[in-house]
Amino acid sequence: MPMAYKVQRSILPLLPKGSSDISILHFSDLHLRPGQKRKIADIKSFINLKPDLVITTGDFLAHKDAVGPVINALDELLDLPGFFVFGSNDYYGPKFKNPFSYLKKDHGERKLGNKLPWQSLQKKLISRGWKDLNHNKVKIKVNEVMVEARGTDDAHLELDNYPLVEGAVSKSADISLGVTHAPYERVLAAMAQDKLDLIFAGHTHGGQVRLPWLDGSRSLTTNCDLENWRSRGVTRVNNEPWLNVSAGIGMSPFAPIRFACSPEVSLITLTA
Protein backbone atom coordinates (compact mmCIF):
# COMPACT_ATOMS: atom_id res chain seq x y z
CA MET A 1 0.00 0.00 0.00
CA PRO A 2 1.55 3.38 -0.99
CA MET A 3 2.15 6.01 1.66
CA ALA A 4 -0.55 8.66 2.01
CA TYR A 5 1.94 11.40 2.84
CA LYS A 6 4.90 13.18 1.30
CA VAL A 7 8.38 13.56 2.80
CA GLN A 8 9.80 17.07 2.49
CA ARG A 9 13.59 16.81 2.68
CA SER A 10 15.91 19.70 3.49
CA ILE A 11 19.60 20.12 4.30
CA LEU A 12 20.73 22.93 6.62
CA PRO A 13 24.46 23.49 7.30
CA LEU A 14 24.08 24.67 10.90
CA LEU A 15 26.44 22.41 12.87
CA PRO A 16 30.02 23.20 13.93
CA LYS A 17 32.86 22.12 11.65
CA GLY A 18 33.64 18.45 12.04
CA SER A 19 30.22 17.48 13.45
CA SER A 20 28.37 14.36 12.39
CA ASP A 21 25.09 14.88 10.53
CA ILE A 22 21.82 14.83 12.47
CA SER A 23 18.64 13.69 10.73
CA ILE A 24 15.53 15.27 12.30
CA LEU A 25 12.05 13.92 11.64
CA HIS A 26 9.49 16.68 12.21
CA PHE A 27 5.76 16.01 12.04
CA SER A 28 2.67 17.70 13.39
CA ASP A 29 -1.11 17.76 13.59
CA LEU A 30 -1.93 14.05 13.60
CA HIS A 31 -5.51 14.80 14.74
CA LEU A 32 -5.84 11.08 15.42
CA ARG A 33 -9.09 9.27 16.16
CA PRO A 34 -9.63 5.60 17.06
CA GLY A 35 -10.17 3.39 14.06
CA GLN A 36 -8.01 5.37 11.64
CA LYS A 37 -6.05 2.28 10.62
CA ARG A 38 -4.54 3.79 7.46
CA LYS A 39 -3.26 6.85 9.31
CA ILE A 40 -1.85 4.72 12.15
CA ALA A 41 -0.03 2.55 9.58
CA ASP A 42 1.40 5.67 7.96
CA ILE A 43 2.65 7.01 11.30
CA LYS A 44 4.26 3.66 12.08
CA SER A 45 6.09 3.88 8.75
CA PHE A 46 7.87 7.10 9.80
CA ILE A 47 10.49 4.92 11.50
CA ASN A 48 11.65 3.81 8.03
CA LEU A 49 13.05 7.33 7.49
CA LYS A 50 15.72 6.43 10.11
CA PRO A 51 15.83 9.74 11.99
CA ASP A 52 18.32 10.50 14.76
CA LEU A 53 15.90 12.87 16.53
CA VAL A 54 12.11 13.25 16.44
CA ILE A 55 10.29 16.57 16.93
CA THR A 56 6.51 16.77 16.98
CA THR A 57 4.65 20.05 17.29
CA GLY A 58 1.30 19.12 18.75
CA ASP A 59 -2.32 18.41 17.92
CA PHE A 60 -1.86 14.67 18.44
CA LEU A 61 -5.51 14.11 19.43
CA ALA A 62 -8.94 14.47 17.86
CA HIS A 63 -10.91 12.23 20.23
CA LYS A 64 -11.08 11.47 23.95
CA ASP A 65 -10.10 7.85 23.32
CA ALA A 66 -7.15 8.61 21.03
CA VAL A 67 -4.28 8.51 23.57
CA GLY A 68 -3.84 4.72 23.23
CA PRO A 69 -3.89 4.80 19.41
CA VAL A 70 -1.36 7.68 19.40
CA ILE A 71 1.09 5.78 21.62
CA ASN A 72 0.57 2.65 19.52
CA ALA A 73 1.23 4.56 16.30
CA LEU A 74 4.37 6.22 17.67
CA ASP A 75 5.70 3.09 19.38
CA GLU A 76 9.05 2.58 17.59
CA LEU A 77 9.68 6.33 17.32
CA LEU A 78 9.40 6.60 21.11
CA ASP A 79 12.62 4.57 21.38
CA LEU A 80 14.48 7.48 19.74
CA PRO A 81 15.33 10.85 21.30
CA GLY A 82 12.30 13.11 20.92
CA PHE A 83 10.82 16.51 21.78
CA PHE A 84 7.14 17.46 21.89
CA VAL A 85 4.79 20.34 22.60
CA PHE A 86 1.00 20.44 22.62
CA GLY A 87 -1.51 22.27 20.46
CA SER A 88 -5.05 23.45 21.09
CA ASN A 89 -6.54 20.16 19.88
CA ASP A 90 -4.65 18.21 22.52
CA TYR A 91 -6.54 20.17 25.18
CA TYR A 92 -9.96 20.38 23.48
CA GLY A 93 -11.72 18.07 21.06
CA PRO A 94 -12.88 19.17 17.62
CA LYS A 95 -16.16 21.04 17.45
CA PHE A 96 -18.31 21.82 14.43
CA LYS A 97 -17.84 25.20 12.83
CA ASN A 98 -18.31 26.53 9.34
CA PRO A 99 -15.27 25.12 7.48
CA PHE A 100 -15.07 28.29 5.39
CA SER A 101 -14.37 30.27 8.58
CA TYR A 102 -10.94 28.61 8.54
CA LEU A 103 -10.11 30.74 5.49
CA LYS A 104 -11.05 34.02 7.14
CA LYS A 105 -8.74 36.28 9.12
CA ASP A 106 -8.11 35.02 12.66
CA HIS A 107 -9.81 37.43 15.08
CA GLY A 108 -8.94 35.41 18.18
CA GLU A 109 -12.37 33.83 18.64
CA ARG A 110 -12.19 30.19 19.76
CA LYS A 111 -14.92 27.56 19.76
CA LEU A 112 -13.61 24.92 22.13
CA GLY A 113 -14.89 21.36 22.30
CA ASN A 114 -14.84 18.97 25.24
CA LYS A 115 -11.64 18.67 27.27
CA LEU A 116 -9.29 15.89 26.20
CA PRO A 117 -7.03 13.70 28.41
CA TRP A 118 -3.79 15.50 27.51
CA GLN A 119 -2.27 14.72 30.93
CA SER A 120 -2.42 11.01 30.13
CA LEU A 121 -0.70 11.58 26.78
CA GLN A 122 1.94 13.75 28.43
CA LYS A 123 2.76 11.08 31.04
CA LYS A 124 3.00 8.31 28.46
CA LEU A 125 5.29 10.31 26.15
CA ILE A 126 7.57 11.27 29.04
CA SER A 127 7.63 7.72 30.41
CA ARG A 128 8.95 6.54 27.05
CA GLY A 129 11.76 9.12 27.17
CA TRP A 130 10.56 12.03 25.05
CA LYS A 131 11.22 15.53 26.43
CA ASP A 132 8.26 17.81 27.14
CA LEU A 133 9.15 21.28 25.82
CA ASN A 134 5.95 23.03 26.89
CA HIS A 135 7.77 25.89 28.65
CA ASN A 136 10.85 23.78 29.21
CA LYS A 137 14.47 23.97 28.11
CA VAL A 138 16.63 20.84 27.76
CA LYS A 139 20.03 19.75 26.44
CA ILE A 140 20.74 16.33 24.96
CA LYS A 141 23.54 14.81 22.91
CA VAL A 142 22.67 13.45 19.48
CA ASN A 143 25.49 11.90 17.44
CA GLU A 144 27.96 13.58 19.86
CA VAL A 145 26.42 16.99 19.06
CA MET A 146 25.05 18.98 22.02
CA VAL A 147 21.51 20.07 21.15
CA GLU A 148 19.78 22.71 23.25
CA ALA A 149 16.00 22.93 22.76
CA ARG A 150 13.34 25.13 24.28
CA GLY A 151 9.63 25.37 23.64
CA THR A 152 6.36 27.07 24.48
CA ASP A 153 2.81 25.94 25.07
CA ASP A 154 0.19 26.70 22.43
CA ALA A 155 0.10 30.31 21.22
CA HIS A 156 -3.22 29.77 19.43
CA LEU A 157 -4.92 29.51 22.83
CA GLU A 158 -2.59 32.22 24.20
CA LEU A 159 -0.96 29.69 26.52
CA ASP A 160 2.52 30.74 25.40
CA ASN A 161 4.79 32.36 27.97
CA TYR A 162 8.22 32.59 26.38
CA PRO A 163 9.84 34.44 29.32
CA LEU A 164 9.75 31.09 31.16
CA VAL A 165 12.46 29.79 28.79
CA GLU A 166 14.06 32.97 27.45
CA GLY A 167 17.76 33.73 27.65
CA ALA A 168 21.02 33.32 25.81
CA VAL A 169 21.89 29.97 24.31
CA SER A 170 24.23 27.92 26.51
CA LYS A 171 27.89 28.15 25.48
CA SER A 172 28.09 24.35 25.62
CA ALA A 173 25.38 23.97 22.95
CA ASP A 174 26.42 23.16 19.39
CA ILE A 175 22.99 24.05 18.01
CA SER A 176 19.85 25.66 19.48
CA LEU A 177 16.29 24.71 18.53
CA GLY A 178 12.93 26.32 19.27
CA VAL A 179 9.71 24.26 19.27
CA THR A 180 6.16 25.61 19.32
CA HIS A 181 2.80 24.52 17.96
CA ALA A 182 1.43 27.66 16.32
CA PRO A 183 4.03 29.95 14.68
CA TYR A 184 2.73 33.28 15.91
CA GLU A 185 5.04 36.20 15.19
CA ARG A 186 5.46 37.06 18.88
CA VAL A 187 6.93 33.63 19.59
CA LEU A 188 9.20 33.70 16.54
CA ALA A 189 10.41 37.21 17.41
CA ALA A 190 11.22 36.22 20.98
CA MET A 191 13.19 33.18 19.83
CA ALA A 192 14.99 35.33 17.26
CA GLN A 193 15.95 37.75 20.03
CA ASP A 194 17.76 34.88 21.75
CA LYS A 195 19.48 33.96 18.48
CA LEU A 196 18.23 30.40 18.14
CA ASP A 197 19.35 28.54 15.03
CA LEU A 198 16.18 26.75 13.93
CA ILE A 199 12.50 26.80 14.93
CA PHE A 200 9.93 24.03 14.40
CA ALA A 201 6.16 24.63 14.26
CA GLY A 202 2.96 23.14 12.88
CA HIS A 203 -0.68 24.27 13.19
CA THR A 204 -1.05 25.79 9.70
CA HIS A 205 -1.79 22.51 7.85
CA GLY A 206 0.17 24.21 5.06
CA GLY A 207 -2.92 26.32 4.50
CA GLN A 208 -4.88 23.07 3.92
CA VAL A 209 -6.39 24.62 0.77
CA ARG A 210 -3.84 26.00 -1.69
CA LEU A 211 -4.22 27.58 -5.12
CA PRO A 212 -1.96 26.80 -8.07
CA TRP A 213 0.65 29.57 -8.34
CA LEU A 214 3.84 30.47 -10.18
CA ASP A 215 6.07 28.61 -7.71
CA GLY A 216 3.71 25.64 -7.34
CA SER A 217 0.91 26.69 -5.00
CA ARG A 218 -0.06 29.42 -2.57
CA SER A 219 -1.95 29.10 0.71
CA LEU A 220 -5.01 31.18 1.50
CA THR A 221 -4.39 31.20 5.24
CA THR A 222 -2.02 30.20 8.04
CA ASN A 223 -4.72 30.29 10.77
CA CYS A 224 -2.42 32.64 12.74
CA ASP A 225 -0.52 35.86 12.03
CA LEU A 226 2.33 34.19 10.12
CA GLU A 227 2.66 35.39 6.55
CA ASN A 228 1.02 33.07 4.02
CA TRP A 229 4.21 32.43 2.05
CA ARG A 230 5.70 30.79 5.16
CA SER A 231 2.76 28.41 5.71
CA ARG A 232 4.83 25.28 5.10
CA GLY A 233 8.42 24.20 4.64
CA VAL A 234 11.75 25.80 5.47
CA THR A 235 11.98 29.59 5.24
CA ARG A 236 14.10 32.39 6.62
CA VAL A 237 13.72 36.16 6.99
CA ASN A 238 16.87 38.30 7.18
CA ASN A 239 19.16 36.98 9.92
CA GLU A 240 16.38 35.46 12.01
CA PRO A 241 16.33 31.73 12.81
CA TRP A 242 15.40 29.28 10.11
CA LEU A 243 11.77 28.19 10.43
CA ASN A 244 10.30 24.84 9.43
CA VAL A 245 6.50 24.67 9.42
CA SER A 246 5.04 21.20 8.98
CA ALA A 247 1.95 21.00 6.79
CA GLY A 248 0.83 18.17 9.05
CA ILE A 249 -0.66 14.74 8.63
CA GLY A 250 -4.30 15.15 9.69
CA MET A 251 -7.10 17.67 9.91
CA SER A 252 -10.29 18.37 11.80
CA PRO A 253 -13.03 15.81 11.14
CA PHE A 254 -15.31 18.80 10.52
CA ALA A 255 -13.10 20.17 7.73
CA PRO A 256 -11.73 16.99 6.11
CA ILE A 257 -10.50 18.62 2.91
CA ARG A 258 -7.00 19.19 1.57
CA PHE A 259 -6.52 20.73 -1.86
CA ALA A 260 -3.07 20.98 -3.46
CA CYS A 261 -1.68 20.36 0.01
CA SER A 262 -0.88 16.73 0.72
CA PRO A 263 -0.24 15.45 4.25
CA GLU A 264 3.49 15.55 4.87
CA VAL A 265 6.38 15.09 7.26
CA SER A 266 9.74 16.87 7.20
CA LEU A 267 13.14 15.21 7.22
CA ILE A 268 15.76 17.84 7.91
CA THR A 269 19.43 16.91 7.81
CA LEU A 270 21.68 19.18 9.84
CA THR A 271 25.24 19.21 8.55
CA ALA A 272 28.51 20.92 9.41
The sign one gets for the Cα dihedral 133, 237, 6, 16 is: negative
**Each residue of 101-142: pLDDT tens digit?**
555 555 556 567 789 999 999 999 999 999 999 999 999 999
Query: Helix, strand, coil proportions of the chain in percent (round to 5)?
Result: 25, 25, 50
Q: Report the C-alpha gap between 220 and 126 in whole angstroms.
A: 36
Q: pLDDT value at position 205?
A: 79
DSSP state of 45: G
**Each residue of 55-77: pLDDT tens digit?**
999 999 999 999 999 999 999 99
Q: Which residues pair with 61 in a beta bridge?
A: 32
Contact 85, 181 (CB under 8 A): yes
Which is nearest to 191 in space by CA: 163, 172, 170?
A: 163
User: Is the model's pLDDT at 2 over the cut of 50?
Assistant: no
**Each residue of 197-234: pLDDT tens digit?**
999 999 887 666 667 777 666 777 788 888 988 888 89
Domain boundaries, the chain: 6-270
* Sequence-separated (6 or more) residues with CB below 8 Å from residue 28: 56, 57, 58, 59, 87, 181, 201, 202, 203, 246, 248, 249
Q: pLDDT value at position 98?
A: 55
Which of these CATH numbers, 3.40.50.1370, 3.90.1150.10, 3.40.50.261, 3.60.21.10, describes 6-270?
A: 3.60.21.10
Q: Report the C-alpha gap between 271 and 187 in whole angstroms.
A: 26
Residue 213, number of CB atoms within 10 A of its CB = 11
Across the beta sheet with 175-179, what order do the strands follow?
137-142, 145-151, 175-179, 198-201, 242-245, 233-235
Confidence of residue 1 (pLDDT cuts 50, 70, 90): very low
Of the listed ranges 118-122, 161-165, 253-257, the least confidently predicted one is 253-257
Q: Report the C-alpha gap between 55 and 140 in whole angstroms.
A: 13
